[in-house]
Amino acid sequence: MKRKGFKRTGALAVAIGLALSMLPAALAGEAYEQPELAARVKQMIEADGYRFKDLNGNGMLDPYEDWRLSAEDRAENLLSQMDALQKAAQMVHLTLVSKKDSWFTNNNVGFALVYEYLFDSAKDAAERTNEIQELSESAPLGIPIVFSMDTEIGAAFVSDATFLPDEINQGAANDAELVARLNTVIRNELLAVGVRMALSPDADLITDPRWGRNQECYSEDVGVVEALIVAAVRALQGGSELTADSVIATVKHFPGSGAQTDGVDGTPLVIQEDSIELHLAGFKAAIDAGAAAVMPYGYSTVPFLGGDAVEKYADQSSAVMTDLLRGELGYTGIIQTDWGLNFVGAANAGADILGGAGVRSTAHLVDGVDEERLTDACRRILIAKFQLGIFENPYVDVDNAARVLGCDEHRAVAREAAARSLTLVKYENAASLAGQSFIVAGELADNVRALNSGWTAKEPMELRGTTILEALREKAGVENVTYITDAASVPADLSGVSAVVVVGEKSGTHEPSWGTATLEFPEEQLRLVGALDAAGANVIAVVLMNRAYVLTPLADAADSLLLAYRPGVTCGAQAVAEALFGEAAITGKLPFQIPARMEQVLAQREDLPKDIAEPLYEYGFGIEVESFGR
């Protein structure tokens, strides 16, 4: 159906005051650039020589369908057509493990965390997001959904994605330009599969070595966190404002979740008067950089702030979200909760998007939350969706997705970041592995998942990547590498033989595999390193680590000690191999202090950085070599 002009009495009747205010600009004859439109269910209409999507199917151009208007004006018109249940549905951020069509057609929910639902090829992942966008388009108001992903290590809930080094590695490299390129990789790969919200980056300050999520943080240094978080936010969003080329950056975990009691995740944050500003610094920098979303922590209270923060988790607390984040910090963007259960409480405390909510939550929100609060939250959500351009075209090119994810250009950035993060803290009797026959030891040497934190599809799903053992075999030839897993298998005499022993923790997310009570290596790993040393091997210890371990026994037994942190499933192992073959410089610096003894960890404060007295290695330490062993 073709329509001329912008004189639609039906559309005007919806919100006559708003529409009248728009009429002069709409009729002034100003030239606009026609955006690309894509519709699979609803019809196109024409007005003033331009094309628009008839999202509510009434045959007329409503203001919210008019891409010439501002995101704010379009949101106000759409809000005027929504009832309380529809507003509440936009606040729902469900976890997409399986798909039920009615969630999108009848309920028209606002957000979906893709999780394992997209863990397939890039092409299949893009097809699945397109299918759901088509269902959302068929809803009465045709509001597109925003897909989100935990992106600590890239678009890693799609099997073809480039798995990047964790933030701990990025802190060791400490290069804002490199962090920007890494987050540009994330943005491009997410855009290619239709995911428009990244649940990253992490602005938490590392202050307690025991916390297992230190691997998701940049540094123990406030200035480093500020610089790198700004680079990440601007790269994800393509600037300080959302556009059709943006991915929403969700900065977490407000107000700074590094200060867990005894390092145990989900315990009260022990932030105090002299540390609160340190923990807020990264978030302030991110907000100034234009971060579109902030996530308060969903598993810890913040007693220092008083009020309801004493008993309620940060993403349920008005003291955290309304008083501190909105009031004191002046944040006007979206507040996205962590994944929780008390959605009514979170909404009443100031949250806009409710992580883990489902369709059944909408009725509870309508019953338990004032509609003005629902409208306030929905307004922010709709404005962001209009800015993202997904009302015009939420669909992606599935063939392009296959070309973009895991492409050579992205792999090169991942490889560079892994290489530049490697940190050498001991360097004696070194010899390049080139031209040698050598030992590779330790179970983690053949564990691809240990190269990243656990923010990807869980076992038994397989990850496509190369282990350190495989990378070393590829460079040296299988016949030149002997692999052993335990101390009992170590030959009696290894004089003149190099042995690369890979130690550390397996992959994880919230809970470290060793637990939080210790940062000391398990006996079986120490026995293996000790046996290699006793046999006369030139021991090169490579440490896969999510936090600052007590490295003293390794420093005593190994000739060289290389910290690889979580270098990335895609290219991390190759970076380690190239470094040990003397093909790449080693330049990384410690993003945190390394304790000499566990007693030092117990004596430091959980909320203060750099407060270990006489550590084994200080923050920022690292031995630079142009070519290992040469």
Tens-digit pLDDT profile for residues 121-159: 999 999 999 999 999 999 999 999 999 999 999 999 999
Count CA atoms closer than 13 A to 578's CA, side-chain side: 17
Average pLDDT over residues 318-344: 97
Give the 3-state DSSP-derived string for 235-290, with helices as H, strands as E and coil as C: HHHCCCCCCCCCCEEEEEEECCCCCEHHHCCCCCECCCCCCHHHHHHHHHHHHHCC
Residue 524, C-beta contacts closer than 8 angstroms, at least 6 positions apart? 486, 487
Task: Give tens-digit pLDDT for 567-626.
Answer: 999 999 999 999 999 999 999 999 999 999 999 999 999 999 999 999 999 999 999 999
What phi, psi does 336 have (nearest 5°)?
-105, 120
Rounded to the nearest integer, the mean pLDDT of the chain is 95
Average pLDDT over residues 413-429: 98
Which stretch of 11-25, 500-514, 519-533 has the lowest confidence by average pLDDT?
11-25
Burial annotation 83-112 (CB, 10 A radius, 16+ → b, else e)? ebebbbbbbbbbbbeeeeeebbbebbbbbb
Residue 29 binned pLDDT confidence (cut-offs 50, 70, 90): low
Residue ranges per domain, the chain?
Answer: 9-72, 82-86+94-402, 422-603
Average pLDDT over residues 459-466: 95
- Whether residue 209 contacts residue 548, with contact meaning beta carbons closer than 8 Å, is answered with yes
Structure token digits, residue 436: 């040698």
- Whether residue 599 contacts residue 550, with contact meaning beta carbons closer than 8 Å, is answered with no
- Whether residue 174 contacts residue 589, with contact meaning beta carbons closer than 8 Å, is answered with yes
pLDDT of 187 higher than 80: yes
- Whether residue 229 contacts residue 289, with contact meaning beta carbons closer than 8 Å, is answered with yes
CA distances to 102, 352, 526, 558, 561 from 536, rounded to whole Å, are: 67, 61, 16, 11, 16
Give the domain 422-603 fold.
Rossmann fold (3.40.50)
Would you state the pLDDT for residue 14? Answer: 36
- In angstroms, rounded to a whole number, what is the distance separating the alpha carbons of residues 220 and 223? 9
Average pLDDT over residues 195-216: 98
Q: Which DSSP state fits 341?
A: S
pTM of the model: 0.95
List 542's β-bridge partners, or say none. Answer: 502, 562
- Whether residue 544 contacts residue 565, with contact meaning beta carbons closer than 8 Å, is answered with yes
Residue 25 binned pLDDT confidence (cut-offs 50, 70, 90): very low
Which stretch of 8-12, 173-177, 479-483 has the lowest confidence by average pLDDT?
8-12
Burial annotation 241-268 (CB, 10 A radius, 16+ → b, else e)? ebeeebbbbbbbbbbbbbbbbebbbebb
- Whether residue 254 contacts residue 229, with contact meaning beta carbons closer than 8 Å, is answered with no
Residue 343 binned pLDDT confidence (cut-offs 50, 70, 90): very high
- Whether residue 135 contacts residue 105, with contact meaning beta carbons closer than 8 Å, is answered with yes
pLDDT of 9 higher than 60: no
Residue 30 binned pLDDT confidence (cut-offs 50, 70, 90): confident
pLDDT of 393 higher than 50: yes
Task: Give tens-digit pLDDT for 232-259.
Answer: 999 999 999 999 999 999 999 999 999 9
pLDDT of 12 higher than 70: no
Would you state the pLDDT for residue 16? Answer: 37
- In angstroms, rounded to a whole number, what is the distance separating the alpha carbons of residues 630 and 625? 9
- In angstroms, rounded to a whole number, what is the distance separating the alpha carbons of residues 430 and 438? 13
In the block, which residue shows the tokens 């990807």?
Answer: 456
Would you state the pLDDT for residue 464? Answer: 94
Would you state the pLDDT for residue 97? Answer: 92
Would you state the pLDDT for residue 457? Answer: 96
Which stretch of 28-32, 96-100, 189-193, 312-316 has the lowest confidence by average pLDDT?
28-32
Helices 71-80 and 371-388, axial angle in degrees (round to 10): 140
pLDDT of 23 higher than 50: no
Average pLDDT over residues 551-558: 98
What phi, psi does 342 have (nearest 5°)?
-90, 80
Q: Indicate the class that CATH gives domain 82-86+94-402.
A: alpha beta
